[in-house]
Amino acid sequence: MFINILPKQLRIEHDETFGDYTCVAENKLGRLQRVVTLSEGAKPGLPHIRVVSIDPGNVKVEIQENKAELFLEIIGFRVEVKEKWQLWENATVIDFQRSGKNVATLIHFTL
């Protein structure tokens, strides 16, 4: 018999939330126990962005992660695009997953 358990979500409201958590799985055949450590992450540094080309309605940019990233792997980038006259609250948000272990990610999007 298999039981699917959804991931546990912890609401982090203060520093005491970080630390060790014990996960226990038990059935008639035995018991397993593992300790998981929840550590505070760090906000990633600003990436380096280079515009590769601009065509009517299209932009290609290269995004390179900050060289100072030591602890957390960058898994993607979020680009916000807006017209010059628009407010940032009304910007279009485009999420890009990082492909492979490339240092740079080439992004092509249509405005």
**Tens-digit pLDDT profile for residues 39-48:** 887 777 788 8
Identify the weakest region by mean pLDDT among 27-36, 61-70, 80-89. 61-70
**What's the confidence (pLDDT) of residue 46?**
81
Q: What is the mean pLDDT of residues 72-92?
A: 83
Tell me the C-alpha distance between 106 and 87, whole Å. Answer: 26
Q: Is the dihedral of CA 36, 42, 43, 49 positive or negative?
A: negative
Is residue 106 helix, strand or coil?
Answer: strand
Instruction: Decide if 39 contacts 19 (C-beta within 8 A).
Output: no
Indicate the Cα dihedral angle 8, 13, 14, 20, nearest 10°.
0
pTM higher than 0.95: no
Q: What is the mean pLDDT of the chain?
A: 76
Please give the residue that has the higher pLDDT: either 52 or 99. Answer: 52
